[in-house]
Structure 1
Amino acid sequence: MNRKRKEVPAFSSEAEERTFWEQHDSTEYVDWSQAKRVTLPNLKPTTQSISLRLPVSLLESIKSAANSRDVPYQSLIKIWLSEKLHESH
């Protein structure tokens, strides 16, 4: 389909752009048949620190499990949480 596309406006902020795309159909602006898959290898997800109180014995068991897998214990906790979350969906 070769129809004339609308021009994407310039945005002054990410919030303004988000609002625009929430209210407009991207197919009026972008020819998705010409889209190409890209990889962004250095893109890291936004993270947020939390404080979590665990019984000492549980934390020691987690650290031991992480050590046996040669990964930081915080990483192992994230992996386990993600696996559990996806398991339930």
Structure 2
Amino acid sequence: MTKPTKTALKPPPHFASEQDERAYWEANDSTQHFDWSKARKVSLPNLKPTTKTISLRLPQHLLDSIKTAANARDVPYQSLIKVWLQEKVHPH
């Protein structure tokens, strides 16, 4: 009796954009492309997203409303602004 042979792994496709890649991996099984039994854990303790400081002029009443909303959520108001901007630019 012969041993079953392992199916050959396919090379991952080339993606035109991150959006295309995301859609592909959501719809396809990665084990067709990678042998996860050989995967190793990686630690990237110093990896931080690149940020840019900006100056943004807001009407005082708007800033007060944002601070009130942030306080109700117990988060810093600048963090809440970033969350809202992210949700508007990249809606689910």
State the TM-score, normalizing by the size of structure 1.
0.53
Q: Write the deviation string for residues 11-37 of structure 1: whole angstroms up to 9, x where unpaired.
A: xxxxxxxxxxxxxxxxxxxxx866656
2:29 is aligned to: none
Q: Distance in 2 between matches of 1:49 and 1:62?
A: 19
2:67 is aligned to: 63
1:84 is aligned to: 88
Aligned residues: 58
Residue 63 of structure 2 aligns with an amino acid whose one-letter code is L
Cα shift at 1:87: 1.3
Cα shift at 1:38: 3.1
State the SS of the aligned residue for 1:74: helix
1:43 pairs with one of 40, 43, 47:
47
Residue 40 of structure 1 aligns with an amino acid whose one-letter code is L
Q: Percent identity?
A: 67
Give unpaired runs (5+ residues) of structure 1. 2-31
Give unpaired runs (5+ residues) of structure 2. 1-7, 9-33
1:23 is aligned to: none
Q: Distance in 2 between matches of 1:41 and 1:83?
A: 27
Q: Write the deviation string for residues 39-70 of structure 1: whole angstroms up to 9, x where unpaired.
A: 53542111111000001110000000000111
